[in-house]
Amino acid sequence: MVKNFKKTGLLMLVIILTTSLFFGCGSKKKSKDNVTWKLGYIRPEGTRTDTSAKNFAADVEKQTEGRVKIELYPNSELGDYSLVQERVGMGDVQMQLASVGQTVDKTLGIQTAPYIVSNWKEARKLYNSKTGVIANYVAERLDKQNIKLLAVYPQYFGSVALSKEPKNPKDPSSSKNLKIRVPSTKAWEELGKGLGFMTTPLPASEIFTSLQTGIVDGAIGAGSESYYTQYKELVKYVMPIKYHFECHWLYINKDTWNELSEDDQKSIQAIAEKIEKDAFDQAEKEEKKYDDLFKKEGTTVYDFTDDEIKAYADKIRKDVWPKLESEYGKDIFDKVKKEVGSN
């Protein structure tokens, strides 16, 4: 009788432990609770970024069987992207798709350093989130801010927008005899001078008035898309010389990410990787879209060959890069030089 009781008790214990193990393992396949995240981005509704964000949110909800819902906040509704980046680090906002702010870490400026890349082949090599030296560096630095990078979202190559005709636009060594607005950092100021312009550091909010009143004759810091949508009536000449590569970055609060099950993490990461691939394809396809729209407005858009752009890149790498090493750090700059064969 006692033996039978012991056998029965042992059998029950085995059943309980097996059941617990089974359901315990099963629970790892699903996130603990249903959650709703905020995803902020700086582009307005109707843009390519907006479409990508909507697709991302829909796919995440579907793949997680409704365990993760995402509320979208376009057009910087949650605030300036640098501020939102800090909020993501704290977990107040869960996600953002935007430029990477440099308030906390100025070395993140490396992502827009001049002429790191000047064509799409180079861009895909250095900026892809799996093996790209720039993307990996951004991921590493964001990790220190309690942020996990999910994907890179390419936007455009930089152009020069001008209200007056430049002198010798095809000659990298020529003085263009014009004053342009540059963002208020040493790197941008040195780039502007290296391109042959006089420079005036100004915030983006002052570009329109400064062009309108003649305080400056042009601007750098953005691409033809931005110039067309914001200043097309003031821009008369465009130099699409690809002096920097502009990406947005899709990232998430690390604590939020770690609360997900492994299965949900894999699903969301796969969706993010598809967003990145599609964005590279779309951005490359749309590269000349706004230059063509400018031409339809009667604006002079200079056509540069690959060799002419390379001549600008070679000059900036030779004359400007040595002045910027301290801005970003020698280690990452050395890695970039090695990748582009400019040691």
Give a yes or no: residue 104 inside a domain. Answer: yes
Higher pLDDT, 36 or 31: 36
**Across residues 332-341, what is the average pLDDT?**
85
For residues 112 and 146, the answer to whether their CB atoms sit within 8 Å is no
Helix (H, G, I), strand (E, B) or coil at 298: coil
Task: Assess whether pLDDT exceeds 70 at residue 1.
Answer: no
pLDDT score for 27:
42
Residues 150 and 209 in one domain: no
Closest Cα partner for 77 from 55, 53, 59? Answer: 53
Residues 270 and 303 in one domain: no
Here the tokens at position 304 are 């540069």
Q: How far apart are CA 94 and CA 84, in angstroms?
A: 10
Higher pLDDT, 255 or 330: 255
Residues 210 and 328 in one domain: yes
DSSP characters for 33-100? S-EEEEEEESSPTTSHHHHHHHHHHHHHHHHTTTSEEEEEE-TTTT--HHHHHHHHHHTSS-EEEEPP
Q: What residues make up the domain containing 182? A: 160-243+288-340
In this structure, of 213-222, 255-264, 333-342, the range with the lowest mean pLDDT score is: 333-342
Q: What's the domain count of the chain?
A: 2
Q: How many CB atoms lie within 10 A of CB 26?
A: 9
Predicted confidence band at 340 (pLDDT cuts at 50, 70, 90)? confident
Residues 55 and 99 in one domain: yes
pLDDT tens, position by position, 284-325: 999 999 999 999 999 999 999 999 999 999 999 999 999 998
Q: How far apart are CA 160 and CA 219, in angstroms?
A: 6
Mean per-residue pLDDT over the chain, rounded:
91
Residues 272 and 336 in one domain: no
Residues 238 and 330 in one domain: yes
pLDDT tens, position by position, 5-29: 445 555 454 444 444 444 444 444 4
The CATH number given to whatever domain includes residue 134 is 3.40.190.170
Residues 109 and 200 in one domain: no
Residues 168 and 139 in one domain: no
CA distance from start to end of the chain: 85
Q: Name the percent of the chain lying above pLDDT 70.
A: 90
Using alpha carbons, list the distances in angstroms from residue 235 to 88, 221, 301. Answer: 36, 15, 10
Give a yes or no: residue 22 inside a domain. Answer: no
Angle between helices 186-194 and 306-319 (to 10 degrees): 130
pLDDT tens, position by position, 205-226: 999 999 999 999 999 999 999 9
Residues 150 and 95 in one domain: yes
Here the tokens at position 8 are 């029965």
Residues 116 and 215 in one domain: no
In this structure, of 1-5, 125-129, 196-200, 252-256, the range with the lowest mean pLDDT score is: 1-5
Using alpha carbons, list the distances in angstroms from residue 323 to 85, 101, 316, 326, 329. Answer: 28, 22, 10, 7, 11
Residues 215 and 301 in one domain: yes
In this structure, of 8-17, 150-159, 165-174, 190-199, the range with the lowest mean pLDDT score is: 8-17
Task: Assess whether pLDDT exceeds 50 at residue 118.
Answer: yes
Give a yes or no: residue 11 inside a domain. Answer: no
**Across residues 67-96, what is the average pLDDT?**
97
For residues 118 and 242, the answer to whether their CB atoms sit within 8 Å is yes
